[in-house]
């Protein structure tokens, strides 16, 4: 089983969106028994909460189910998961602070795969918590997930 974890700040806007979109792509590719998907937040501000209504609305619009609840990222995730994917530089900084000799995960920026394939020209997913631009988030998340799945399938 290949295990993928998406990490943002609150685990209510960007990472649950990526979690849901990627799970859907994995399912459509017939790989649900080979790739597992989860998400977490570097903060505990929203632990236990459902996604932000903006994320819920976008997922509903695209017929993508999600029933996860927010949880905080923990050091053990760095050995539990194969891929730990940061949404922005601040998330990467907080994840990096927990990296140690026992870390086995590949820890990278979520958009790095799409960036390497020329699909996007940025590495950070802007936070819709501040600007409300959930459709733009969805567009970036979809590209990032497509590139990630292509990368995993190519291995």
Measured from the Cβ of residue 8, the count of other Cβ atoms closer than 10 Å reads 30
**Euclidean distance between CA atoms 52 and 143, whole angstroms:** 21
Closest listed residue to residue 18, CA positions, set 152, 154, 146: 146
Residues 56-115 that bind ligand 4NP (CB under 6 A): none
Set 8, 19, 77, 88: catalytic member: 8
Indicate which single residue of 4, 6, 10, 38 sits in contact with ligand 4NP (rule: CB under 6 A).
Answer: 10
- Closest distance to ligand 4NP from the beta carbon of 46 (Å): 6
Give the nearer residue to ligand 4NP in terms of CB position, either 43 or 103: 43
The stretch among 3-11, 30-38, 112-120, 140-148 that binds ligand 4NP (CB under 6 A) is 3-11
On whether the CB atoms of residues 144 and 113 are closer than 8 A, the answer is yes
User: Does residue 7 bind ligand 4NP (CB under 6 A)?
Assistant: no
Set 19, 38, 127, 145: catalytic member: 127
146 is a catalytic site residue: no
CA distances to 13, 50, 70, 82, 115 from 130, rounded to whole Å, are 10, 18, 18, 30, 23
Measured from the Cβ of residue 128, the count of other Cβ atoms closer than 10 Å reads 20
Which residue is at the shortest CB distance from ligand 4NP?
A: 10
**Burial class of residue 112 in the structure, from the number of CB atoms within 10 Å of its CB (0-12 exposed, 13-18 middle, 19+ buried):** middle
Set 14, 19, 77, 145: catalytic member: 14
139 is a catalytic site residue: no
User: Does residue 39 bind ligand 4NP (CB under 6 A)?
Assistant: no
Catalytic residues: 8, 14, 127
């Amino acid at each position: 089983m290949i295990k993928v974890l998406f990490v943002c700040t609150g685990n209510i806007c960007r990472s649950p969106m990526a979690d849901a979109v990627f799970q859907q792509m994995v399912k459509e590719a017939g790989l649900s028994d080979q790739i597992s998907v989860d998400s977490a937040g570097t903060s505990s501000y929203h632990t236990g909460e459902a996604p932000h209504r903006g994320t819920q609305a976008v997922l509903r619009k695209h017929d993508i189910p999600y029933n996860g609840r927010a949880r905080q990222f923990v050091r053990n995730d760095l050995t539990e998961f194969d891929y730990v994917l940061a949404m922005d530089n601040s998330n990467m900084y907080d994840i990096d602070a927990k990296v140690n000799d026992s870390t086995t995960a590949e820890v990278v920026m979520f958009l790095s795969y799409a960036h390497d394939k020329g699909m996007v020209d940025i590495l950070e997913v802007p936070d819709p918590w501040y600007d409300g631009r959930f459709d733009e988030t969805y567009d970036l998340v979809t590209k990032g997930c497509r590139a990630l799945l292509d990368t995993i399938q190519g291995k």
